[in-house]
Structure 1
Amino acid sequence: MSASVPAIRSVTARGLVVPIARPVKTAFSTIDAAPMVLIDVATDQGVTGRSYIFAYAKLTVKPLVHLIEEIGRELVGKPVAPFDLMKAMDAKFRLLGWQGLVGMAVSGLDMAYWDALGQIAGRPLAELLGGAPRPIKAYDSYGVVDPIADERALRRSLEQGFRGIKIKGGDGDAANDERVVKGVRALLGPDIALMIDFNQSLDPAEAGRRIARLAPYDLHWIEEPVPQENLSGHAKVRETSPTPIQAGENWWFPRGFAEAIAAGASDFIMPDLMKCGGVTGWLQVAAQAEAANIPMSSHLFAEASAHMLAVTPSAHWLEFLDFARVILAHPAEIIDGTVTARGPGLGLEWNEAAVATYLVS
């Protein structure tokens, strides 16, 4: 192997449950802490690539750690060549399929490979991919809110310069959704983008009724109104919706996006780096979005997403939901409502004291 091509020396995964400043209530449950897995891919050039993934539930933390380290044992000695490694993973898991935990593990590893390559080059990932870090317009992402009880928090978001706010819906009836949206719109004023996320909680008929009821409040998008796998349902809702439909955080790898785009499932798309195939998968999805003229936003992972949106032709919004702040030495910063990517690589460095505090034994 050429001395200029790094090889994988080891893969380490650590599970954490991290406190978050603002619990996120959805139509189904409340996220009051962030189950996470940190991934470290050490190379033979003395550089360690880092990434993290969000496990969604505490019960998946340990299985993800085990899965990543088992995959990692087979990667030792292989060149850090993300496209080749993704092709190998596709072949390895083709019969099993890689939605779910396998897909999360593969995507997380891919992000760590690219971080290592950026560090070795001494450049932010956005530069390595042919672009440059730049301020990316961000929206502040909330769970279910109450316009009165959460007024102070919402005003704080405006003071930070956010030009967009997302809230959750679907936890009550249509009248409750309208009450909340009406109150938040009055608080924000007409010039702030307001999005609502139903987290797949409605059927197409009910989604159509609620969207029509909320139309007077000038929503920027309606997110995941129906179950993510129901592409025809999304397309049906989109046909009659006066508000753009947003989806994609739960579509898996570039093939999933190709199917959704072909079905006409949404006006906008928002890949999740942990589900679309990491950096490698994102690049392919971004090419699809550009070809279809679809605005593309991010889901979670603000630090890495700022790099990817900087090289995405149809870049739209960056979601800011700061789950990782506690365990990062240099958390993402909001400046005038924007996030700018930092390097080298993804710009991730662990706060090891915090990691030790929240480690899952």
Structure 2
Amino acid sequence: MSLTLRSLTATAVVVPMARPLWTSVQALREAPLLLVDLHTEEGIVGHAYLFCYLRAAAGAIAAFVEDLGTRLHGRPVVPASLRKAVADYSRLIGQRGVVSMAGAALDMAAWDALAKATDLPLVRLLGAEPRPVPAYNSNGLGLVEPQAAADEASELLAGGFKGIKMRLGRPSAQADLAAVRAVRKAVPDDVALMVDFNQALTPREAQTRCAMLDGEGVYWIEEALRHDDYAGYARLRQSLSTPLQFGENFTGPKAMAAALAAGCVDYVMPDAERIGGVSGWMDAAALAAAHEIEMSSHLFPEVTAHLLAATPTAHWLEYVDWAEPLLQAPLRIRDGLAVPSETAGSGLAWDRDAVERFRIDA
């Protein structure tokens, strides 16, 4: 069935986090999300959502999403064609920030609608088979005291998770090390412990703090430096035995290609709303396969469960539960594995009562 775009609607919501997240940048106690619906003339509606980070950002993104809906009214729902139309329309302002996020939401909603039109789960529409993918629990484990971190880490293993992530970037390197050692002692040896600095460190600090983590049972070190300091990451990588991970801030596959060419990363983890939605993700997955580098996800677990199942070098899915209160059927986690929905589409279906409860004026 071919589909024709009628309109795009965007609804801003703010969902309280079950576990507040204290990072080196700011404390997060709520998840500002933008729910995007692609309405077609044929009656099929495609869904996507964005994580806006700030309440104030939701309104700007919503305005651009709905403007795109007006501009693209009557066009066939063909992701490649819609992608080009967004690029043409935004050529003067550039495809970054609000523009790239809106374009990614459009792309994800378009793929969801197409999967529904063909009565296939998204993973099958992408040419792959549904399969469980390893998931690590990324809810909580912020900058808290070592004992509190250890207690929370043990709680995060419920559901059979074999990986957890904690945030680093405390005022001192010794405080970070004490927290890592407390968590590592509290969880079984076979649990992967990822750590994330959220771009908090200078190059000199990164050399010191990351070297201290070598030999401490850390699975990867994420975003120690500013996300686009590829030269700095290359130098850091040469001095460490612990793998480096980043990629959530890649704006499109070209940014990922540049990082891979610079040889500055051991693993990559694109973000669906920044890499370009489903289309951008699949381009990135092809790059990762060509470089034989393992690829994980950042946020959006409901959709990335499908995308990782279609990724040749799939590694870990980052599990967060922020959107769950809004969904009719949240992502299933079974024995630490994320199980892609086998219903038609990406598995996103809004609980309209919950949406109204958490809705805000954007």
> What amino acid maps onto 2:74 in structure 1?
G
Question: Which deviates further from its counterpart, 301-310 or 225-234?
Answer: 225-234
1:279-318 equivalences in 2 (<5 Å)? 279-318=278-317
> What amino acid maps onto 2:2 in structure 1?
V
CA-CA distance at 1:84 after TM superposition: 1.4
Partner of 1:101: 98
Check if 1:27 corresponds to 2:39: no
CA-CA distance at 1:150 after TM superposition: 4.1
- Runs ≥4 residues deviating over 4 A: none
Q: Equivalent residue of 2:274, what SS?
A: coil
Check if 1:89 corresponds to 2:58: no
Deviation readout 1:198-247 (Å, 9 max, x if unpaired) = 00011122111111111121211000010012111111111111110000
CA-CA distance at 1:49 after TM superposition: 0.1
Whole-Å separation in 1 of the counterparts to 2:232 and 2:151:
37
Partner of 2:346: 346
Check if 1:62 corresponds to 2:59: yes
Do the aligned residues in 2 keep the contact of 1:245 with 1:267 (CA within 8 Å)?
yes
Do the aligned residues in 2 keep the contact of 1:145 with 1:168 (CA within 8 Å)?
no
Q: Equivalent residue of 1:16, what SS?
A: strand
Partner of 1:5: 2
Cα gap change, 1:146/1:335 in structure 2, threshold over 3 Å: closer, same or farther?
A: farther
Check if 1:124 corresponds to 2:121: yes
How many pairs does the alignment contain? 358
> What amino acid maps onto 2:77 in structure 1?
V
Partner of 1:336: 335
Question: 5+ unaligned residues in a row in structure 1: which ranges?
Answer: none
Do the aligned residues in 2 keep the contact of 1:27 with 1:169 (CA within 8 Å)?
yes
CA-CA distance at 1:94 after TM superposition: 2.8
Question: Which deviates further from its counterpart, 235-244 or 88-97?
Answer: 88-97
CA-CA distance at 1:88 after TM superposition: 2.0
Whole-Å separation in 1 of the counterparts to 2:159 and 2:339:
15
Task: Give the TM-score, by structure 1 length.
Answer: 0.97
> What amino acid maps onto 1:104 in structure 2?
M
Whole-Å separation in 2 of the counterparts to 1:259 and 1:92:
25
Q: Equivalent residue of 1:15, what SS?
A: strand
1:1-361 equivalences in 2 (<5 Å)? 4-141=1-138, 142=140, 143-342=142-341, 343-361=343-361
CA-CA distance at 1:189 after TM superposition: 2.8
CA-CA distance at 1:92 after TM superposition: 2.3
Question: Which deviates further from its counterpart, 86-95 or 196-205?
Answer: 86-95
Q: Equivalent residue of 1:51, what SS?
A: strand
Do the aligned residues in 2 keep the contact of 1:204 with 1:236 (CA within 8 Å)?
no
Deviation readout 1:102-143 (Å, 9 max, x if unpaired) = 111100110000000011111100001111211110001133
> What amino acid maps onto 1:10 in structure 2?
S
CA-CA distance at 1:152 after TM superposition: 4.1
Whole-Å separation in 1 of the counterparts to 2:155 and 2:181:
19
Whole-Å separation in 2 of the counterparts to 1:16 and 1:294:
36
Whole-Å separation in 2 of the counterparts to 1:252 and 1:81:
22
Do the aligned residues in 1 keep the contact of 2:133 with 2:316 (CA within 8 Å)?
yes
CA-CA distance at 1:149 after TM superposition: 2.0
Q: Equivalent residue of 2:272, what SS?
A: coil
Do the aligned residues in 1 keep the contact of 2:149 with 2:179 (CA within 8 Å)?
no
Whole-Å separation in 2 of the counterparts to 1:260 and 1:58:
31
Identity %: 42
CA-CA distance at 1:162 after TM superposition: 0.6
CA-CA distance at 1:272 after TM superposition: 0.3
Do the aligned residues in 2 keep the contact of 1:28 with 1:171 (CA within 8 Å)?
no
CA-CA distance at 1:329 after TM superposition: 1.1
